Amino acid sequence: MPIAFSEFLKILEYVADKKEKVVSYIDQWYPSTKTCSVCNYVLDELPLDVRYWTCPSCSTKHGRDSNSSVNILRVGASTLGLGDVRLSRTAISA
């Protein structure tokens, strides 16, 4: 049986509390998909069918969802006062 999104959030908060974790919410209108996670350039629009895009400012190629997840992580961490959170990158040896 499907549950309402609000019920899902209650379950998520309950489980997080039991595990001594925090659920952080961000502004639902924050443009996480349209904001470049490298240089913070914000596109005017990004149609739903566009899954990949290139930033006109820094030329970084983004996957819509992966770019969005990086931005959401940073905004959530910032909201919790964790400062500037950077994702770890795999070291590439020459």
The nearest distance, CB 27 to Zn ion, in angstroms, is: 21
Residue closer to Zn ion, measured from CB, 20 or 45: 45
The bridge status of strand 52-54 relative to strand 61-63 is antiparallel
Residues that bind Zn ion (CB under 5 A): 36, 38-39, 41, 55, 57-58, 60
Number of C-alpha atoms within 13 angstroms, CB side, residue 53?
25
Residue closer to Zn ion, measured from CB, 36 or 70: 36
Looking at 1-94, which runs of residues are DSSP E strands?
A: 52-54, 61-63
The nearest distance, CB 76 to Zn ion, in angstroms, is: 20
The nearest distance, CB 53 to Zn ion, in angstroms, is: 10
Q: Which amino acid is at 36?
A: C
Residue closer to Zn ion, measured from CB, 38 or 77: 38
- Those residues whose C-beta lies under 8 Å from the C-beta of residue 12, and which sit 6 or more positions away, are 23
